[in-house]
């Protein structure tokens, strides 16, 4: 589905993860929590209904400092890598 993305990342310590996302790189107003409710080192988040032009995301963990400004990534559909 070109309007859905699954994001995986790892952390050095066991924690719960979540992704902040939005259409504007400077205004990530939406949040999606990891698919598991158990703390771990591997995190997976599913985001549905993303626009075809993509969405900006930042990766977070419950143990992150409020003073942390994580890197922001653009996730977009690439028809060349789409497998039906």
Q: pTM for the complete prediction?
A: 0.84
| Nearest in space to 54 (alpha carbons), one of 7, 10, 12, 11 | 7
Model pLDDT for residues 5-55, shown as the tens digit of each residue: 999 999 999 999 999 999 999 999 999 999 999 999 999 999 998 888 899
CB atoms within 10 A of CB 46: 13
- Can you tell me the distance from the alpha carbon of 5 to that of 77, in angstroms, rounded to the nearest whole number? 9
22 bridge partner residues: 56
Which pLDDT band holds residue 66 (cuts at 50, 70, 90)? confident
């Amino acid at each position: 589905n070109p309007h859905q993305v699954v994001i995986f990342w790892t952390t050095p310590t066991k924690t719960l993860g979540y992704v902040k996302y939005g259409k504007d790189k400077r205004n990530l107003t939406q949040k999606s929590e990891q698919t598991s409710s158990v703390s771990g080192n591997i995190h997976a988040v599913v985001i549905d209904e993303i626009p075809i032009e993509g969405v900006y995301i930042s990766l977070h963990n419950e143990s992150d400092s409020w003073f942390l400004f994580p890197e922001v990534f653009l996730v977009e559909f690439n028809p060349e890598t789409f497998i039906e």
